[in-house]
Structure 1
Amino acid sequence: MDTTLLQEQVALGRDENAYKRLFLHFYKGLIRFADTYVRQHEVAEEIVSDVMLKVWTMQEALLDVRNLRVYLFSAVRNGAINYLLKNRNYTTWDIDQVAPDTFVSSHTPEEETIHRELKRNFAEAVSQLPPKCRMVFKLVREDSFSYKEVAAILDISENTVDRHLNIAMHRLADVLQNYRQRSGR
């Protein structure tokens, strides 16, 4: 989807259909991202809705946004952090999420059991990553952001993104190595 064209149609033409398409294009990913911070789905929806409303009200200033995707994720991150600070929920805050659903489903009961065990071990390993490592892993591996985009979203350097991703990948590789040794694969 060419979001740049939709962005122009919203900014200059105030095109409601283009806005709706932009909204629907980004909505689920932004909700999931906000939810990693606030851990309350309704609050995540409210944060994303506020950010998307701001996009509509920006009018021509929306044309100044070079990368709308990075802008939206950054705005949602800021909104989530502001919510946590305002409501003092930051002490119970955990950005853990479910492991990626990219594993191929097996057919035999034994393979299904092995698959569930591996998925559970992988999810546990992801949940045990330091918070920034988890976030970087999810943005790069699950949401396909570039290092530069993740650096802009999280307000860190690209080298820090690389370091966090390397830590995450080494720990997750250990989980796979242990699994292979135990299962004889």
Structure 2
Amino acid sequence: MSESNIYQLLVNSHEKDDESLFKSIYLEYYPRLIVFSKGYIKQREICEDIVEDILMKLWDNRGSLTHIKNLKFYLYVSAKNACLNYLASKNRILSQSIECSFDFDLGPITVSPEDTLISEERIELIQTAIQSLPPKCKAIFILIKEDELKYAEVAELLNISIKTIEAQMTIALKKLSLAFEFEFPELVSRTYKKKSI
């Protein structure tokens, strides 16, 4: 189910208690929000409590969500704020730069062999190339390419400038194109030929 479908069903279900819809929302967002939250709070149990609370609040307030333009971004911001509130409540001052949050791994980019007509082996090589990116670069790349957040949204979420986002995406794309050139020379040469025509 696409995010826009989930959002529409969520907003329209405020008078119903649709267990299957809540389950879909939970399965879609819970894993990523846990991993993202662990960038701020290292204890998984605390992250689980925070994310469950966010999803329950989302469900309880689903009738008043019409102002949300991007549900995924809204949930990431909610997770970030909840984590920072938790740290503040425990008198843990974030003495380190926000850079420390880039230790988290947002998980692999999902690639469907049926959709892309490439082999499992090649998907694994792509995953390896993505996982080898520096943490900050990888987090930004996945938030933009996998979660389809806009540059401005990622900049706000991670508290960095759009220029930094652009620079990190340039680094990611260069590193990945080098990896792909080595692994898939025929694909890269076809791409360059198309651009030059």
- Shorter-chain TM-score bucket reads 0.5 to 0.7
The answer to whether 1:139 aligns with 2:134 is no
Whether the aligned pair in 2 keeps the contact of 1:6 and 1:22 (CA below 8 Å) is no
Distance 2:45 2:120 in 1: 31
The answer to whether 1:6 aligns with 2:6 is no
**Matched residue SS, 1:39:** coil
- Pairing 1:143-154 to 2, within 5 Å after superposition: 143-154=147-158
Distance 1:32 1:53 in 2: 18
Q: CA deviation at 1:49?
A: 0.8
- Pairing 1:56-71 to 2, within 5 Å after superposition: 56-71=59-74
Q: Would the alpha carbon gap of residues 97 and 13 (structure 1) be closer, same or farther in structure 2, given more than 3 Å must change?
A: same
State the number of aligned residues: 165
Q: CA deviation at 1:32?
A: 2.2
The answer to whether 1:73 aligns with 2:76 is yes
The answer to whether 1:41 aligns with 2:36 is no
Residue matched to 2:171: 167
The answer to whether 1:24 aligns with 2:32 is no
Q: CA deviation at 1:105?
A: 5.2
Distance 1:72 1:150 in 2: 13
Q: Would the alpha carbon gap of residues 5 and 165 (structure 1) be closer, same or farther in structure 2, given more than 3 Å must change?
A: same
Structure 1 gap ranges (5+): 107-111, 181-185
Residue matched to 1:15: 17
| Identity over aligned pairs, percent | 28
Deviations 1:130-184 (A, max 9, x none): x4x343123123433332442343355544422222234445666x39x95xxxx
Deviations 1:39-61 (A, max 9, x none): 33222211211111221232532
- Counterpart pick for 2:103 among 72, 95, 100: 95
Distance 1:8 1:99 in 2: 28
**Matched residue SS, 2:48:** helix
Distance 1:53 1:62 in 2: 13
Greater helix share, 1 or 2? 1
Residue matched to 2:187: none
Distance 2:27 2:56 in 1: 13
Measured on the aligned residues, the alpha-carbon RMSD in Å equals 3.8
